[in-house]
Structures are given as structure tokens and as C-alpha cells.
Amino acid sequence: MKIAIYGAGGFGKEVACLIERINNNGGNWELIGFYDDTKPAGSSVSRYGLVLGGMETLQQVNQQLAVAIAINDNKVVRRLRESINNPHIIFPNLIDPSLFLVDKQTVIMGEGNIIQNDCMISCDVTMGDFNLINDHVVVGHDNHIGSFNGLMPAAHLSGGITIGDNNLLGVASVVLQGMEIGNGVTLGANSVLMTQPKDNSTYLGVPAKRFDF
């Protein structure tokens, strides 16, 4: 099936590599190029393909096309998804073949999720839409993750955690068991969340404390 990547930056190139890995393990994606609103049509994206146009061009596609939104900003991803109203566009989950699922029968996810290499997801896990699970992330048992969240490389979630929408968990951050994270929370790199965070707030340190910027 044909697939395009929305976002022609560094993360877009990483998603192109992810698609290659999937194809090398039995997948059947045909990457036709990139969509991007900041680069002119015809621009080369390294060896991976050309920019086909921006949002206006995508809205005019008249046959089924899978699209991966490869932008590392959950607010922008949400805005783009809400802007795309072309009924021919679908949003597959792109999952690296290296993902270790403890029990695939009890892991449920929506659409548009991107899971990069060497991650682990345990049992009885639910996940919404358009989450980015980056390299070496661990998701423990009985976790419930909403939509439009970013889990950066080596983030670790213990068991029994509930996460809402539009949250960012930084590189090598840790959320201890039983925590409930609402919406719009940023947890800094190498931080350990041990107490209930407030929505739309930033937490840094060990243990993580709220910072106002």
C-alpha cells in the first residue's frame, strides 16, 4: 500500500527508516514521498524521496493513501490531524519489528501511533491515537495512555499508570507505579515523577518538582 510521511525533517527521515525496517520484515509499504508546509514541492529529503507538497496538496489526494505524521511536537500533530479531512487518508500504526509485547492479546491501540526500535510493552495496556513511543521505551502492565503523547527515548513507565493527552515525557524519565498524569504535562529528561502532577505544568528533577517558566 502507498504511504507518505507528513514532515520532511529529521524525524520524517527516521520514520522513513522505520518503514524500511518494517518492509524488511515482511511489510509491504510503498513510500511515495513527503508532505511538508515549510519546504517547496520537489525538495529532496536525503535519499528517502521528494516533498510532494503541503496540506493543500494532501487534501486533494483522490485515492486511498496512508499517512504517518512525523513531527515531534504533539500540539502540532494534533493540529495537523484535525486539519486533514480528506476521506481517502488513513493513519496506520507504524510499529518497529523489534517491539517486545509481553501479551499482544491484551494490548489495544488506536490509529496513527509510531513505535520505534527496541521498545517493550507489557500486558493489559491501552493506547489512544497518534502517540510517539521513541527508542528503548518501557511501558509497564495495566497502563492506559491517551492520545497525542510523546515518550522520548528510554522513558520508563511502571505499572498501573494512567496518562491523558498532550503530554511529553523526556529522555530517560521515569514515572513510578500508580501515577495519574492528566493533560499537557512535561516531564524533563532524567526526571522521576513520584507525586501527582498538575495539568499544563513542567516537572524536573529527582524527585520531579513543578517549575514555572
The tally of CA atoms less than 13 A away on the side-chain side of residue 142 is 8
Residue 65: φ, ψ to 5°:
-145, 130
Last residue of a domain, one of 77, 92, 107: 92
> Would residue 110 count as lying in a domain?
yes
Question: At 148, which CATH number?
Answer: 2.160.10.10
- Shared domain for 108 and 173, answered yes or no, is yes
Per cent of the chain over pLDDT 90 is: 99
pLDDT in tens, 129-188: 999 999 999 999 999 999 999 999 999 999 999 999 999 999 999 999 999 999 999 999
> Would residue 140 count as lying in a domain?
yes
pTM of the predicted protein model: 0.95
Residue 30 gets the label, from left (phi > 0), alpha (psi -120 to 50) or beta, of beta
Pull the grid cell for residue 44.
529532496
pLDDT of residue 46: 96
User: What is the count of structural domains for the chain?
Assistant: 2
- Shared domain for 102 and 201, answered yes or no, is yes
- Shared domain for 110 and 57, answered yes or no, is no
The boundaries of the domain holding residue 20 are: 2-92
- Give the separation between CA 211 and CA 143, rounded to whole angstroms: 26
- Shared domain for 82 and 118, answered yes or no, is no
pLDDT of residue 212: 84
Q: How confident is the model at residue 211 (pLDDT cuts 50, 70, 90)?
A: very high
- Shared domain for 21 and 108, answered yes or no, is no
